[in-house]
Chain A
């Protein structure tokens, strides 16, 4: 038996995304952000998107390209402080922003990827983060109901992969990538180095291939992936 080949072209993979889609993006700051897939999304121009990402990148890169092009209706994130455009658009009512505590955002995504409806946590009790959430009592303790966060598409950046979509991440570029890879109806991975089947040892795979639908080999890495000069 041979594992299926999921390699695809970037243009075709992104073309499947319709207007109004909910899209999860990997990355915490620069590491792990799928800049090439985002750039293609900007080129194709899908509108009215809901973007789910830990942060809004910095001004001039990644999520900021989508914001600048007016493609984002809604953003779900834990922190957008490094992108002044995102903060300004939020305050001006040009985009809707929902904040979640960082680990709760991660867990809501993980929950969706695990086929669960939600979970109960005491994080945020007694703060404004609890507003609008349902209180639940579990074995005498009060918590908040946090719902699973699903997406139509997940755009992932991986360091290495094989044709079947087994993924490995570099260093701190892992962050939200393995979680979002599990939580979307279709997961598209851009990969720095695509290897033949068998080249990745089973023990070193971070995201198993069944979670991944399409593998896009990056021809070269644009400068935006490099060290940010401040």
Chain B
């Protein structure tokens, strides 16, 4: 993936964050979306370890030893931020106060199943907060490259890896396209600039519904 394709994908994902939302950004690609969110957008970033109102990353001497986000990065808080314990932090998630989460994926299926926490025999660190974020955020947007490093499509007919949560994903944003999980199936809704429908179909294992007429680009 070229750096311009990556930037385009991150910028497109940032557009999912709307004014007034409470948002949790998953570890990995989603964290990088932050750099593309306008500084003056009224939004509350949540972190699982008990922060509502996460601010920009702090490095070097500016880092506070007691202030990390759930990914371990030293962060700041914005004016009006609050801290809470871990039970309260997940009450925000499970209680329906989290409007949006952007999550990474190993595999995501056309029906919205998500696998992003375990590869048996290879990667078994534990789920952390992923299950609750995937299952209970009011809107779940997956941000991932369309294919893995070996070129295998991550957008699957069915997930082969153990699920994080079944039927939880609303939208998938990749370097090639935006796809929405609907009652009818997975629908191609946007194309990355310069990418054709044929390219997306060839790179997608899941059945993809292509609407008639022009498809918007990002």
Interface residues in chain A, defined as those with a beta carbon under 8 Å from any beta carbon in chain B: 28-32, 54, 77-82, 87, 90-91, 97, 99, 101-107, 109-110, 121-124, 126-129, 159, 169-179, 225-228
Contact between chains at B85 and A101 (CB < 8 Å): no
| Neighbouring A residues of B86 by C-beta, 8 Å | 28, 54, 102-103, 105-106, 175-176, 179
- Mostly, the B contact residues are loop
Residues 128-158 of chain B, each 1 if its beta carbon lies under 8 Å from chain A, else 0: 1111100110000000000000000000000
A110 and B128 alpha carbons, distance in the complex (Å): 17
A122 and B168 alpha carbons, distance in the complex (Å): 13
A-B CB contact pairs (8 Å), 13 listed: A79-B128, A101-B129, A102-B128, A107-B87, A123-B94, A126-B163, A127-B166, A171-B83, A172-B69, A172-B83, A174-B85, A179-B85, A179-B87
A32 and B130 alpha carbons, distance in the complex (Å): 22
**CB-contacts of B152-206 with A (<8 A):** 162-166
A59 and B32 alpha carbons, distance in the complex (Å): 26
A230 nearest CB neighbor, chain B only? B72
A6 and B188 alpha carbons, distance in the complex (Å): 64
Contact between chains at A99 and B65 (CB < 8 Å): no
Known contacts A104-B132, A179-B85, A227-B65, A99 near B49 by CB under 8 Å: no
Whether B127 sits at the interface, judged by CB under 8 Å, is yes
> Chain B: how many interface residues by the 8 Å CB criterion?
42
A103 and B72 alpha carbons, distance in the complex (Å): 17
Known contacts A101-B127, A102-B127, A175-B50, A127 near B165 by CB under 8 Å: yes
A86 nearest CB neighbor, chain B only? B125
A12 and B100 alpha carbons, distance in the complex (Å): 48
- Closest CB of chain A to B92's CB: distance in Å? 9
Contact between chains at B131 and A128 (CB < 8 Å): no
Contact between chains at A172 and B66 (CB < 8 Å): yes
- Closest CB of chain A to B28's CB: distance in Å? 12
Among candidates B70, B85, B130, B131, residue contacting A176 with C-beta atoms closer than 8 Å: B85
| Neighbouring B residues of A105 by C-beta, 8 Å | 86
| Neighbouring B residues of A78 by C-beta, 8 Å | 126-129
| Neighbouring B residues of A110 by C-beta, 8 Å | 87
Whether B68 sits at the interface, judged by CB under 8 Å, is yes
- Closest CB of chain B to A179's CB: distance in Å? 6
- Closest CB of chain A to B88's CB: distance in Å? 9
